[in-house]
Structure 1
Amino acid sequence: RVLAALGRSTEAVTAYRTALARRPDPHDALDLGELYESMGMAAQARESYDRVRELAQRETSNGVDDELVLGRYEADHGDAQQAVERLRGEYDRQPGTEVADALGWALHRVGEDDEALEYATTATDGTKGGGVRSALYAYHRGAIESALELDGPARRSLQEALQISPAFSPLWAREAKSALAALGNPPDVAVPG
């Protein structure tokens, strides 16, 4: 991840491939797929995404719960509705911050932005049980707020994502920058007084 964040994509690919050869993990396969996608390497991304399912099935047969990584995969690269169903079940079993973020994002991907914002807020707001400073969570919240035309909050969330880590994801950091640019500057408002 660090190599990808530093813009050393080719080295990052090599590192991910080495890690996957040593210890196959669906999380790493998902990250590698997104790295390939960010590099415009669609065929390699598809292979890596297919490997996410394969590795998760193998781990599940060994008693590992991979619902979260499968939900994240489905939300962005597969069937978003299936992601919602999978992540609702996971949230019922384990209502943590990471699952709240993933479920909120999946709901956003199927157009359920009002409900999505509730989960995104849970994942990012310390008063609601979240409060983890995650660039990805802040990006998700900002994208959801933007879809709801909550421009001020969206701008704040997207800025927070990029302040936490300007290169938090080879795929989504670019989207965060683009979404923030599309929102533009806040409108000039006269100060009362």
Structure 2
Amino acid sequence: MRGRWTVRWVLVGLLAVATLLTAGVVLGPTRPSAPGRPAGAAAPVPATRDLDAYVARTTTHLDQVPGDWHSWAQLGMAHVQLARLTYDPAHYPAAAAALRRSLRVRPTGNAAALTGLGALAAAQHDFRGALRYARGAVAADNYSADAYGVLTDAYVELGRYPEASAAVQRMLDLRPDTGSFARASYLFELHGDTRRATQLMRQALDVATGPGDTTFALQHLGELAFNAGDLNTAAARFTEGLARTPGQAALLADRAKVTAARGEPASAVTDLRAATAVLPTVDHLVTLSDVLTAAGDPAAAARTDDLVRAGARLPGVTPASTDIDLVLFYADHGPAAEAVAKGRALLAARPSVSVEIAYAWALHAAGRDREALTHANRGLRLGTRDARAHYYRGMIRLALHDRDGARADLRQALAINPYFSLRYGPAARHALGGRA
């Protein structure tokens, strides 16, 4: 799956987010944008500039017209988006207050507020809450594409893929835009049809209406290419995205994976340091640690790992909101019991195929390989073509002395993407006796 094991709707991924349009705030995909540009490059426009202006303008309007329930809902969604762009959870209370104010003003038939509350719940990794609100929004307005977007996101993270497919088809019927094509793309990717997933992401790019949507589509096209082992196409997509949105942290981190795979660790470290200075997610920090280790700087890698551990202890990190990458980090770096505990809690909250795989790897780290194999099989039940998932299952099978099964999975991992991991790629080749 794209990137590491983050939620790919946002977030994975492709959670509904707000983009400012002339009509107000509507749901569509984007990714965090940030400074951190190379010396001499033009300063990028701050990612929150338009949203900050919108919040100020709408707040002034609501001071004068406090009964405008629709503007309260839009203000709430703007705060949800600001939280995602800035990774600042301080926006969540403001979002909740505005959305609930909208419901107080108009308690029935208020699909906009219910959709916003669903998006807020999803942003906080409460996918059951997101599902409840999205169902309410659809009941209030069966023609709301935004509501069906949140419904799709919730079903995906709850592992309810047939319902997710039906919801995204309804969204496509109502509004074939970047958000709906991207969600459909991800579902095809999960089911192993990367050709169709790529076609749909190209359609998402074709209908993009703003720089955020365009960059989002380019990034995910690049990730699809990288995950298929196509470094040239991936590099071209990431480069185009950075040309449009200079300094965008997620694109810098993605470009670093390509340069590291090409044997250019110094360039990869430069990009990753710029990315983590702005967006120090577990995903980006773990990638930086792996590149530093491969570059022969274990001390710097250890310091980066310490940052991951420190971040995991920050207030507000709960078992339900734990990132999948954090479960994998503890599985690789210990303690294994922490990985298992976090993975179990995460699976209870989000029983998706991605979480199944992460939990399987945590159980393997704890020496519980028979249980691990059950969850690894569940994680691959859709036929996802994911090199990392096959590597994990291959190593679990090897621990269970199923050498034929292990070889099949490890060969599949390297066939899907020989560059899938600086950490695991050499281990896969070693387990195969040096034969790729």
* Aligned residue runs from structure 1 range 73-112, under 5 A: 73-112=329-368
Spell out, residue by residue over 1:61-100, the C-alpha distance to the aligned partner (whole angstroms, 9 max, x if none): 69x9234222111110120111001100100110111111
In the alignment, does 2:290 pair up with 1:34?
A: yes
Q: 1:59 to 1:98 in 2, by over 3 A?
A: farther
Q: How far apart, CA to CA, are the structure 2 residues paired with 1:6 and 1:98? A: 27
Q: How far apart, CA to CA, are the structure 1 residues paired with 2:316 and 2:417? A: 32
In the alignment, does 2:293 pair up with 1:50?
A: no
Q: 1:32 to 1:60 in 2, by over 3 A?
A: farther
In the alignment, does 2:422 pair up with 1:170?
A: yes
Percent of pairs identical after alignment? 35
For 1:155, the aligned partner's letter is: R
Please, which of 392, 403, 407 is the counterpart of residue 155 of structure 1? Answer: 407
Spell out, residue by residue over 1:41-78, the C-alpha distance to the aligned partner (whole angstroms, 9 max, x if none): 2211111111112334458469x923422211111012
Q: How far apart, CA to CA, are the structure 2 residues paired with 1:106 and 1:138? A: 15
How many pairs does the alignment contain? 178
Q: 1:6 to 1:88 in 2, by over 3 A?
A: same
Q: 1:58 to 1:147 in 2, by over 3 A?
A: same
Contact 1:143 1:154 in 2 (8 A): yes
Q: How far apart, CA to CA, are the structure 1 residues paired with 2:366 and 2:275? A: 33
- Specify the alignment match of 1:140 in structure 2: 392
Q: How far apart, CA to CA, are the structure 1 residues paired with 2:317 and 2:390? A: 34
Q: How far apart, CA to CA, are the structure 2 residues paired with 1:147 and 1:9? A: 32
Q: 1:71 to 1:175 in 2, by over 3 A?
A: same
For 2:425, the aligned partner's letter is: A
Q: How far apart, CA to CA, are the structure 2 residues paired with 1:141 and 1:75? A: 14
What RMSD, in angstroms, separates the aligned Cα atoms of the two structures?
2.0
Contact 1:27 1:52 in 2 (8 A): no
Contact 1:59 1:66 in 2 (8 A): no
Which 5+ residue runs of structure 1 have no aligned equivalent?
185-193
Contact 2:322 2:342 in 1 (8 A): no
Which 5+ residue runs of structure 2 have no aligned equivalent?
1-256
Q: How far apart, CA to CA, are the structure 2 residues paired with 1:113 and 1:61? A: 28
Q: 1:111 to 1:54 in 2, by over 3 A?
A: same
The answer to which structure has the higher helix fraction is 1
Q: Normalising by structure 1, report the TM-score.
A: 0.85
For 1:21, the aligned partner's letter is: A
For 1:145, the aligned partner's letter is: R
With 50-59 and 19-28 compared, the bigger mean Cα shift is at 50-59
Spell out, residue by residue over 1:136-177, the C-alpha distance to the aligned partner (whole angstroms, 9 max, x if none): 110000001111111111111000000011111111100011
Please, which of 321, 344, 347 is the counterpart of residue 65 of structure 1? Answer: 321
Q: Secondary structure at the match of 1:95?
A: coil
What displacement does 1:33 show? Answer: 1.1
Q: 1:153 to 1:61 in 2, by over 3 A?
A: closer
Q: 1:20 to 1:153 in 2, by over 3 A?
A: same
With 17-26 and 162-171 compared, the bigger mean Cα shift is at 17-26
- Specify the alignment match of 2:432 in structure 1: 180
Contact 1:97 1:123 in 2 (8 A): yes
- Specify the alignment match of 1:24 in structure 2: 280
Q: 1:176 to 1:59 in 2, by over 3 A?
A: farther
For 2:334, the aligned partner's letter is: G
Q: How far apart, CA to CA, are the structure 2 residues paired with 1:30 and 1:58? A: 18
Q: How far apart, CA to CA, are the structure 1 residues paired with 2:406 and 2:273? A: 36
